[in-house]
Amino acid sequence: MLKATIDADIFRESIDAIAALVTECRMHVEPDRLYTRAVDTANVAMVSLQVKKEAFETYQATKEELGLDIAKLKNMLGMMGKGDKLDLSLPEGGHRMEIAFNRYRYALTLLDVNTIRKDPNPPTIELPGKVILTGEALQAAIKAASMVSDKIALGIDPDNKFFYMVAEGDTDHIRLELGQSEVESLTLVEVRSLFSLDYLKDMGRVMGKAEKVEIHLGVNHPVKFSFDFADRNGHIDYLLAPRIEAE
């Protein structure tokens, strides 16, 4: 059972975060939160999202697992106005969730959870490098890199004390260095990994709205982007596998 009211913007942010990687997911409903963890079809990137009870204006729920068609929900978001309130309601064991907003009552048929990929296990990765910067700066860097290449290297240079992003195209090259005074926090440890901008562009659109994004890095390891939304009552982690650096 779920009966809740939420601000349309918070709902939009949650769905956008998931839609950046997958078109459907298993959403776990619990008495004090909603959460999902899903991996894209290519097994390259993962999203973990949690929205606490406090992010909602009203929230009542019992434990349930819902199969959500994220692509459909994303289309529906277009019909919502800024500041709209959304009423979500699902009876115990129900197969359709009712989403009411701005005089619309939308009945969303839930997917059979057994047809959706199981939640991946939480990965166990040691990522020693950490930098915190604004979502806006991160998104701008991703955009700049995608003008010259389809991949970007992220790393920390502990000797020169900066975090860097480098994109090398066939003919052009772009590099951004941010020193300790230009970022919120920087762990000085040597790390570097290369990533696909195809994924980062989609994630960047979501991360661009975050006040701060924690970036966790290793050597030829996945990158983890960690950030809050909904006044810290919502939290998103993205994990992206690295590309192999050309010799």
Partner 1 sequence: MGVALRDIIIEYKKPIAWEGLAGIAAVDAHNALYQFLSIIRQPDGTPLMDSHGRITSHLSGILFRTLNFLEMGIRSVYVFDGEPPHFKQGTIETRRGQRIAAKERWQEALEKGEIGEAYKHARSSARVDAAVIDSSWQLLHLLGVPSVQAPSEGEAQAAFMAQIGDVQYSVSQDYDSLLFGSPVLARNLTVSGKRKVRGRTISINPERIILKEVLNGLSITREQLVEIALLVGTDFNEGVHGIGAKTALKIVKRREFGATLEKELPDFDPVPIMNFFLQPPVNTDYKLSWTPPDREGIRRMLCDQYEFSPERIDSALDKLATTSGQKTLDRWF
204 CB burial (10 A radius; 0-12, 13-18, 19+): buried
Helix or strand or coil: residue 142?
Answer: helix
Q: Which is nearer to partner 1, 41 or 114 (CB)?
A: 41
Q: Which is nearer to partner 1, 41 or 171 (CB)?
A: 41
* Residue 111 C-beta: closest distance to partner 1, Å: 14
Q: Which is nearer to partner 1, 44 or 230 (CB)?
A: 44
The CA distance from 62 to 31, in Å, is 5
The CA distance from 53 to 5, in Å, is 10
Residues whose CB is less than 8 angstroms from the CB of residue 194 and which lie 6 or more positions away in sequence, other chains included: 151, 152, 153, 220, 242, 243, 244, 245
* Residue 20 C-beta: closest distance to partner 1, Å: 14
The CA distance from 207 to 226, in Å, is 9
Residues whose CB is less than 8 angstroms from the CB of residue 247 and which lie 6 or more positions away in sequence, other chains included: none
* Residue 244 C-beta: closest distance to partner 1, Å: 4
Q: Which is nearer to partner 1, 123 or 208 (CB)?
A: 123
How many CA atoms within 13 Å lie on the side-chain side of 183? 24
Q: Which is nearer to partner 1, 31 or 120 (CB)?
A: 120
* Residue 45 C-beta: closest distance to partner 1, Å: 7
Binding site for partner 1 (CB under 8 A): 39-46, 120-121, 123-125, 196, 198-199, 221-222, 239, 241-244, 246
The CA distance from 244 to 247, in Å, is 9
The strand pairing partners of 20, in sequence order, are none
**Residue of 93, 124, 125 whose CA lies nearest to 110:** 93
* Residue 217 C-beta: closest distance to partner 1, Å: 14
* Residue 41 C-beta: closest distance to partner 1, Å: 5
Q: Which is nearer to partner 1, 127 or 133 (CB)?
A: 127
